A and B are shown apart, each in its own frame.
Chain A
Amino acid sequence: MGRVIGLVAYHVFKESVRDKVLYNLALFAILLIGASYLMGQLTAGQDIKIIKDLGLAASSVFGLFIAVFIGVGLVWKEVDKRSVYNLLVKPLRRYEFIIGKFLGLALTLLVNIAVMALALYVVLALMNWLQPAVGKASVDAPVLDPQLLKAFALLYVQLLVVTSVALFFSTFSGPMLSAAFTFGLYVVGHFNADLAHFENVVKSPAAAWLGKALYYLLPNLAPFDVKAAVVHGQVVSAGYVALTAAYGVLYAGAMLTLAILIFARRDFK
């Protein structure tokens, strides 16, 4: 089982490399280096914070675009172009196909996030080395703060959730609609906490109940965003990271299960 899943996953990664998806890393590096140069010209003291903020925000945006735009095509493209016919008649179960597709994109995202994290550390180290005064002015958090890794880790798990949502829609819907739904859920997911206390805003018990139901149903993505806390040197505990990551993995698992259930009974007309 694991071997065939691995083969499917490896080929998703191979396709993303050959389709030049990883070129976004070059864009990321240029953005970061260009920004750090500009910051050095403009401000004093705050530039390390800004670079950290920019690095994390850019990683988040690039990662989101990869997760959504590759994610919505993962299954849909195979079905639309009928390449899936050749695969599913071989000793590869439909659920293995779905899991393989997911893991393939998870690997692509992992490489992306890892390289972006490394690039951010390199830029920060260079800034610190070239202008030691800047580093000393950064009082909230050390320049090469290991906490950044926690922000990257949570960002990665968040992208896995987004990927699972995109893949779920991809099993029964076209890419435009899937992308719209996934982006929609991403935005809603960041304001999800408001739904939990909907009864404070509306008087109708039915609406409050609906708000509560949606709160549990929709992904809660706000806890994954610890950029501001990390940049300002606030401690993000390992327990918090573990709990949030566990929620993300469970949510992605549930979406994958739904995707598998839909895909398992699907007719390829």
Chain B
Amino acid sequence: MLALETDNLTKDYAVGFWRSRPYRALDRLSLRVEANEVFGFLGPNGAGKTTTLKLLTELIYPTSGRISILGRPPGDSEVRRRVGYLPEAPYFYDYLSAEELLTYFAGLFGLRGQARRARVAGLLDKVGIAGERRLPLRKFSKGMLQRVGLAQALLNEPEVVFLDEPMSGLDPLGRRDVRTLILELRDRGCTVFFSSHILSDAEALCSRVGIIVGGQLVTSGRLSEILAFQVTGWELVIANLDPAALTAFGDSIRRVTPISDGRYMIEVSADIEPERILGHLRAQGSQFISLNPVRTTLEDYFVQQVTARQAAPPAGRVMPEG
């Protein structure tokens, strides 16, 4: 079953004061996210990630295209009851405490009495701010506000959660907690759609990813399908090495980096078998320490795509001045 589907979703903004011109923030986005998936929506800043999330939550309306969440349009009241959303860098009311805020929002979902108290207390505990529940939100740090944001997104035990940069503003401990939380949500049967430009998070969490650059979806699918995990070279660490011994391999040696006292790290291209080099160096009296394959990472792929797109902006995207 599909949790989310978009079909040629497009959003244009008018920019400029006197003679406004259209600026295409999102260009014909077609995505399918299965239920119970953790889907990473990746892209550099300004790629259209937040625009997409705002379209999915109907905070903005599409110029054209279609959205279906749990088989219904995004503004449907049934969808609102079953979906949670964490905006980017969330802000809440200064005059309320975390507990009061969650109690207020739980009321919007129709929760009352003991059920509401239990849900609020449980979530405060889950996101790790139970101790600060009565503190006014104006005294909260960015990371603590992010935790409140997560708690409010989960108040209705949603079937689909949209998280806009959920790791933003969090320290390493906080990031670990959020990763655990996302995996818990998945195990509970929830579909998680999160945007990020932190690729290690996507690699650690996502069953599938979509990469968006300049408002256009560059690719989507399983990480293994996208990257094909090709070996692009080898990384050798050798001790007692005389670098002159490497000249025999010519251009196959990409780089030689001294580590310490005759120990070197050697980057070798994939067109040569590493055993040949090892055999040659052993005969010269060097010692083999380690050998690792170099594969295309999501980061490499991401950088390649962004660089290529930025070098040639897609036709039809009118860029704003300044």
Contact = CB atoms under 8 A, between A and B. Distances in A.
Contacts of B61: 265, 267
Given A7-B108, A86-B152, A90-B109, A268 B80 contact: no
Given A91-B110, A92-B108, A86 B90 contact: yes
A7 B92 contact: no
A255 B85 CA distance: 31
Interface string B89-127: 111110110000000110111100000000000000000
Given A18-B95, A91-B81, A269-B13, A82 B108 contact: no
Interface stretch (B52-60, B190-198, B200-208, B246-254): B52-60
Instruction: Specify the main secondary structure of chain B where it touches its partner.
Output: loop
Contacts of A269: 13, 60
Interface string A1-45: 001100100010011001100000000000000000000000000
A206 B28 CA distance: 50
Interface residues of B, number: 29
Contacts of B85: 85-86, 89
A86 B105 contact: yes
Contact of B95 (A3, A4, A14): A14
Nearest to B87: A85
Contact of A90 (B60, B80, B93): B80
Contact of B57 (A14, A89, A91): A89
A15 B93 contact: yes
B92 A83 contact: yes
Instruction: Specify the main secondary structure of chain A where it touches its partner.
Output: loop
A86 B80 CA distance: 12
Given A83-B93, A86-B149, 11 more contacts: A7-B104, A15-B95, A85-B57, A85-B90, A86-B90, A88-B57, A89-B85, A90-B80, A91-B77, A91-B81, A93-B77
A91 B93 contact: no
A83 B96 CA distance: 12
Interface string A80-102: 01110111111111000000000
Interface in A238-269: 265, 267-269
Nearest to A18: B95
